[in-house]
Amino acid sequence: MQTETVHVPLDGGRAYDILIGRGLLAGIGPRVAALNARAVAVVSDETVAAEYGEAVTASLAQASLRTALITVAPGEGSKSYAGFAQVCDGLIAHRIERGDLVLALGGGVVGDLAGFAAASLRRGVRFVQAPTTLLAQVDSSVGGKTGINSPHGKNLVGAFHQPSLVVADTASLDTLSLREMRAGYAEVAKYGLIDDPDFFAWCEANLAEIFSGGPAREAAVASCCRAKAGVVVRDEREDGERALLNLGHTFAHALERLTAYDSARLVHGEAVAIGLCLAFRFSARLGLCPGQDAGRVANHLAMAGLPTTLAQVPGGCGDADQLLDAMRQDKKVRDGALTFILARGIGKSFIAPGIDAGAVREFLVTELG
């Protein structure tokens, strides 16, 4: 497959490209060198660094760039105050300056963490996203959202800081575990559920090939990147339309908090899958969405091997009051009132502010059985 380029035409000299194709990591050096930096610090987790760190740093060095490698422990636990301090101190120790670059090599955790460190270091240095998971390639690497978790909730500390380049090597997906592929697929399906029913139907028809690694996989990544790029350009700082990208995430982030961000129990994409199903079932309960659409969503995600109910959270996820309390820390809360992304059908999502907490609680009680 040839490299596909998706352009993100932000103003103020902040436009950048998303490169999508197989084998891009081994030749990343010249692409990064074209950004006119003298030094690049690669931030990765220990697992990804063992797989790709040597090839990436070698390519950067061959492009006459001074390189350094900073690693953190894999998993959501590194997306923390301690992880942030570790990365920032590492960047400072390696003398990364304002004109240099930070390269985030890994999944969504590394991308969010390294991006926030880049946004903060010396009040802002440039960074490159090199996502190696399906979830990161189709969602978290694009759009400039960076940050860490607080004990009070997910992604509550962070900054908008756009990358200078995104390099999505789809060959890296060949090494993912089935669980990681499934987790990333929840974000793929989400794009169809938001506003593209034809894409969701395409996903239903091409599910097997997306997982097996045929041309449909690259097509899915490119479609999601184009969709997100369009939203980001229209609403960069989530003042309106971009909130739709959080479909299912109010529920998902509450589940992650109540499972203590323990990836052995629940990873982000699994929480999103449950959250998508809950959003559609809640919409149906409110009379907004046909029940058959909610059933179709749950059936498709189950076919992908993803959890679709609260009962499938290992070790449980608390009671209705605990879930509701966790949701009150959601970033979309305004004046203490809950805002959800709900749906009138597949591909017909909308922002629903001021949802009655009592109705949410009754729904959760029913879902918990």
User: So which residues are the catalytic ones?
Assistant: 123, 145, 187, 228, 238, 242, 246, 249, 253, 268
Cα dist from 24 to 42, 51, 175, 188, 303, whole Å: 16, 14, 15, 21, 31
Cα dist from 306 to 33, 222, 266, whole Å: 40, 22, 11
- Report the chain's C-alpha Rg in angstroms: 20
d(CA 128, CA 35): 10
d(CA 30, CA 213): 27
- Binding-site residues for Zn(2+), please? 187, 249, 268
- Binding-site residues for NAD(+), please? 108-112, 132-133, 145, 154
Buried b (16+ CB within 10 A) or exposed e, 24-62: bbeebbebbbebebebbbbbbbebbbebbbeebbebbee
CB 91 within 8 A of CB 121: yes
Which burial class, exposed, middle or buried, applies to 241 when counting CB atoms under 10 A from its CB (0-12, 13-18, 19+)? middle
Which secondary structure element, helix H or strand E, spans residue 154, and what is its range? strand 153-160
- Binding-site residues, please? 108-112, 132-133, 145, 154, 187, 249, 268
CB 192 within 8 A of CB 203: yes
d(CA 141, CA 64): 26
Strand partners, 342: 350
3-state secondary structure (DSSP) of residue 169: strand
